[in-house]
Amino acid sequence: MAQVKKAEVRDAIVAAAHELFRQHSYSGTTLRQIATAADVSLANVYSYFASKLDLLVAISDPWLRDRLEQLERDLEEIKNPRQRLRFIIAAFWREIPAEDNCFANNIMQALSTAQPTEYDARTIEWSKQKLSEMLHKCLPAERQILLADGSCTHLLFMAFDGFSLNSRLNPKAVCTDEVIDLICNLLEGTPPRPPRRVARNKTGLHSPQRIGTAQRKPEKR
């Protein structure tokens, strides 16, 4: 007789897995540990999920969709296009990778060992489209062509993967304000501001200058 699946049992397995992945990472968690935490048998876990990857997808897909939809709602409060753009990049490359004890890193761990037949790109493609829609509303009309073929959002997602890894493995390499401004300038087609350097003034003290803006000494005639 086929086992009757119950929503509360599935929810208990998902909740237990989410907490263990969050605390100990995907690679540091076994299905047996998940079964114990959910107070079900290992066979019960397999009756609901074909594999540990299948269980992670059940958690990570709604997690990422919810986060991007929340980001879209947050943008409604920001009217300035540049500020909206910075908010998107900061959230996507810095805030989301660090959230929930760097939960996005679990996705990287799982996919690094997955077979092509196990990979379902539907959530990633949905996420790319959602990101493209948000960016489209920030960019000048003449720059929106950058989003036409999906190459831009693909590149942003590749960087997201890297920042997700660094959030857990190397927090010193998280996305900086300088990186955010750089990508915003590239997307907007805005010339970058010259880097600052320190120059001595007449008092002998150091004062910041923009490279290329220092006053030249008058030529001797």
pLDDT mean over 28-38: 98
Would you state the pLDDT for residue 94? 96
Q: Give pLDDT tens digits for 129-154.
A: 999 999 999 999 999 999 999 999 99
Q: Give pLDDT tens digits for 39-89.
A: 999 999 999 999 999 999 999 999 999 999 999 999 999 999 999 999 999
Half-sphere exposure of 128 (CA within 13 A, CB side): 18
202 confidence band (pLDDT: 50, 70, 90): low
Would you state the pLDDT for residue 114? 87
CB burial of residue 56 (10 Å; 0-12, 13-18, 19+): buried
- Whether the pLDDT of residue 1 is over 50: the answer is no
Residue 77 sits at the vertex; the CA angle it makes with 76 and 82, to the nearest 5 degrees, is 85
pTM of the model: 0.81
120 confidence band (pLDDT: 50, 70, 90): confident
pLDDT mean over 172-189: 94
